[in-house]
Amino acid sequence: MNIIDELTWRGAINQMTEEENLRKLTDEKKISLYCGVDPTGDSLHIGHLIPFMMLKRFALQGHHPYIVIGGGTGAIGDPSGRKTERKLQTMEKIHDNAEKLKAQFTHLFGDDENITFVNNFDWLSQISLLDFLRDYGKLFPINVMLAKEVVASRLEAGISFTEFTYQILQAVDYEHLYSKYDVQLQVGGADQWGNITGGIDMIRKMHGGNTPVYALTIPLMLKSDGTKFGKTAGGAIWLDPEKTSPFEFYQFWLNQDDADVVKYLKYFTFLSKEEIDALAEAVEKEPEKRLAQRRLAEEVTRFVHSEQALKEAQNITEALYHGSIADLTEHELEQAFGKMPTVDVTDEEKDVVNWLVDSTIYSSKRQAREDITNGAVTINGIKVTSLDEIVRPHKNSNGKYVVVRKGKKKYTLAKISK
Q: Pick from 52, 51, 86: which is nearest to 220 by CA?
A: 51
Cβ burial 111-143 (10 Å sphere, 16+ → b, else e): eeeebbebbbbebbeebeeeebeeebeebbeee
Which CATH number describes the domain made up of 337-417?
Answer: 3.10.290.10
Return the pLDDT at 234. Answer: 61
Report residue 231's pLDDT band, with 50, 70 and 90 as the boundaries.
low
Give the pairing type, strands 64-69 and 235-236: unpaired
- Rounded to an integer, the average pLDDT of 25-37 is 94
Which of 52-66, 85-99, 165-179 has the least mean pLDDT? 85-99
d(CA 279, CA 189): 27
Return the pLDDT at 47. Answer: 84
CA dihedral 95, 100, 105, 111 (to 10 degrees): 80
Kindly write down the DSSP assignment for every residue of 184-211, as one continuous string: EEEEEEGGGHHHHHHHHHHHHHHH-TT-
362 is in an annotated binding site: no
Give the pairing type, strands 183-189 and 214-218: parallel
365 is in an annotated binding site: no
What percent of the chain stands above pLDDT 70? Answer: 98
* Intra-chain end-to-end CA distance of the chain, in Å: 62
Report residue 341's pLDDT band, with 50, 70 and 90 as the boundaries.
confident
Residues composing the chain: 418
pLDDT of 308 strictly over 90 = yes
- Rounded to an integer, the average pLDDT of 127-148 is 91
- Which residues are 404's β-sheet partners? 379, 412
Return the pLDDT at 220. Answer: 83
CATH entry 1.20.120.1810 includes domain 231-322:
no
Report residue 233's pLDDT band, with 50, 70 and 90 as the boundaries.
low
Give the pairing type, strands 214-218 and 15-16: antiparallel
pLDDT of 23 strictly over 70 = yes
34 is in an annotated binding site: yes
- Rounded to an integer, the average pLDDT of 144-163 is 83
- Rounded to an integer, the average pLDDT of 195-214 is 94
231 is in an annotated binding site: yes
pLDDT of 376 strictly over 60 = yes
Per-residue pLDDT tens over the stretch 404-415: 988 877 889 989
Report residue 176's pLDDT band, with 50, 70 and 90 as the boundaries.
very high
Report residue 135's pLDDT band, with 50, 70 and 90 as the boundaries.
very high
What are the structural domain ranges in the chain? 3-218, 231-322, 337-417
Q: Which residues contact 152 (CB under 8 A, 6 or more apart)?
A: 146
Per-residue pLDDT tens over the stretch 246-301: 999 999 999 999 999 999 999 999 999 999 999 999 999 999 999 999 999 999 99
Return the pLDDT at 323. Answer: 67
pLDDT of 377 strictly over 80 = yes
In one-letter notation, the amino acid at residue 143 is: N
In the predicted model, what is the mean pLDDT of the chain?
A: 89
CB 76 within 8 A of CB 166: yes
CA 83 to chain centre: 22
CB 369 within 8 A of CB 387: yes
Shared fold status for 3-218 and 337-417: no
Distances (CA, A) of 306 to 106, 109, 303, 313: 13, 12, 6, 11
Return the pLDDT at 41. Answer: 87
Per-residue pLDDT tens over the stretch 73-113: 988 888 876 677 778 888 899 999 999 999 898 888 876 67
What letter would DSSP give residue 414? Answer: E
Return the pLDDT at 114. Answer: 82
pLDDT of 322 strictly over 90 = no
- Rounded to an integer, the average pLDDT of 22-49 is 91
The class of domain 3-218 in CATH terms is alpha beta
Q: Which residues contact 20 (CB under 8 A, 6 or more apart)?
A: none
pLDDT of 232 strictly over 80 = no
Return the pLDDT at 112. Answer: 67
Q: Pick from 387, 324, 336: which is nearest to 357 by CA?
A: 387
